[in-house]
Structure 1
């Protein structure tokens, strides 16, 4: 989601020919070149709406279904990330990472925050031990640190989404959270395309602009405010706080993934989601926004209360 071809937060300065050329370079194989803005907006919109509806429906229908959906995406993201690291010579073990991710899911479901804490510690120990018994000694420290980072970045942060869902009004919290992030992505995209002129972080994500950032914050916060007013007994102020926290965190998540992808020389994690790139290209902003939303909700309503 860091460049114009990655996700809904790509803020493309349409007046800059170099930006359009760069978009062509980062477009994954097989992607349409019809949209010079970097991707087929129709496909991206349809797929994005489908994912949004499926997520909200699962959260409303049954927390167990929602948990399976979330951890399915997290496992897919871990596998994508591992593949990207392998291309750079980092040996990140898939089996213990996937097992640790699933273990976090079970521990979070049954033990909430305490269970997640224990699962993280066990997972970290298991991953380091797995690498330690490997016969190869080259790059042991670098590989172990990459594995630890993967575990903390993807399944640990993603588990906060499940902890939000476990509250008495869990699905409502999840909807406000998701609406804030989607609003930020959408507002950033269109504000950047229409008015984007001033680069936000040109060395990390050349197509991000301050105009897009403002547009994302405004739309994300307004959307979360309206959602909270409708779903959380009129507490619009809580939606405003969640919206501000999520939009700021989402942008940091986008930039963080952009910097990491540039460091490992990867443009898109995969082409698994038409119009959006890989699973990680959809999750990057959600991952950092999830703990931010969880903390705001917990401070205002308690971890389980209404």
Structure 2
């Protein structure tokens, strides 16, 4: 198990890191600034994550409108892609006194279409007590995968800091927290952290994850982003707890659904959602911290 996890972890890190560096090469060599490799990866990850979450929710008795959630989530990243193609100018629609952003439009569109689908279903087959669960599940899936995942794209297109490096450092710190927690927990774990949600997580693993995340933040952040040591300490202290919470949040959903992994497509890890769980909650914190530090330069 450990060997498989290490091998596929290295392969994933090398593959994703290579694609991000390919985007950087295309930008510098050919002035292609809209990150084609990244958007292909995030689109695929979004579709797979929504599908896995839909299966998880189905196990818990809630069937969401999966294609609608996928479309709304992809529209968020597509709006950033459109902005990049326009030279970085944000897409905002002004309707009278209201400024409508793509995120707002995607959420409104999802709600309206889901209500239409449920209304037609009710018209044809009668009122269904599960309709409210489906509508609520749609919003949960969109917020969890779409809105939280949008922070990754926001990191990638940062201009005040190098977007590729900002994303690489963020993912490296988050995943080093996961790796440190896993390795320290296996080697020294004695006291359970939250056995009701994740029986294998330990206090010793939590401390090890913090330490490794701090080391990676100081090393990679200084080298790639040029931030001060105290900024990188703050960055690690802000991001690491959110990564742990992200992992526990997915554990909560999996336990509620009565399953161990969100999928089986990635040997040693489970599904795409099992890889993204810590990232989804930690990426917004990382983006907020880096924006603050960039503004203070």
Q: Give the structure-2-normalised TM-score.
A: 0.84
Higher alpha-carbon deviation: 115-124 or 92-101: 115-124
Measured in 2, the distance between the counterparts of 1:235 and 1:124 equals 44
1:58 to 2:19 alignment: yes
1:126 to 2:113 alignment: yes
1:152 to 2:143 alignment: yes
Q: C-alpha root-mean-square deviation of aligned residues, in Å?
A: 1.9
Q: Answer with 1 or 2: which has the greater Rg.
A: 2
Which residue of structure 1 aligns with residue 29 of structure 2?
none
1:72 to 2:44 alignment: yes
Q: 1:278 aligns with which of 264, 271, 280?
A: 271
Any stretches of 5+ residues in structure 2 without a counterpart?
A: 24-34, 84-89, 92-100
Measured in 1, the distance between the counterparts of 2:282 and 2:256 equals 23
Q: 1:167 aligns with which of 133, 158, 167?
A: 158
Which residue of structure 2 aligns with residue 83 of structure 1?
55
2:262–2:274 Cα contact (<8 Å) kept: yes
Measured in 2, the distance between the counterparts of 1:83 and 1:130 equals 20
SS in structure 2 opposite 1:134?
helix
> 1:192-225: per-residue Cα shift (whole Å, max 9, x none)?
1111111111111111111101110110121011
1:157–1:287 Cα contact (<8 Å) kept: yes
> 1:150-196: per-residue Cα shift (whole Å, max 9, x none)?
11011211111001110121011001101101110111011111111
SS in structure 1 opposite 2:193?
strand
Which residue of structure 2 aligns with residue 5 of structure 1?
none
Higher alpha-carbon deviation: 235-244 or 256-265: 235-244
Any stretches of 5+ residues in structure 1 without a counterpart?
A: 1-39
Higher alpha-carbon deviation: 261-270 or 235-244: 235-244
Q: Larger RCO: Structure 1 or Structure 2 (Cα < 8 Å, ≥ 6 residues apart)?
A: 1
Q: 2:5 aligns with which of 41, 44, 49?
A: 44
117 and 237 in structure 1: CA distance in 2 versus 1, 3 angstrom threshold = farther
Q: 2:207 aligns with which of 192, 208, 214?
A: 214
Which residue of structure 1 aligns with residue 245 of structure 2?
252
> 1:217-240: per-residue Cα shift (whole Å, max 9, x none)?
110121011101101125333332
SS in structure 2 opposite 1:208?
strand
Higher alpha-carbon deviation: 155-164 or 47-56: 47-56
Which residue of structure 2 aligns with residue 7 of structure 1?
none
SS in structure 2 opposite 1:275?
coil
Residue-pair matches, total: 265
Q: 1:196 aligns with which of 177, 189, 192?
A: 189
Correspondences of 1:220-235 after superposition (within 5 Å): 220-235=213-228
Measured in 2, the distance between the counterparts of 1:102 and 1:146 equals 17
How far is the alpha carbon of 1:264 from its aligned partner? 1.4
2:75–2:102 Cα contact (<8 Å) kept: no
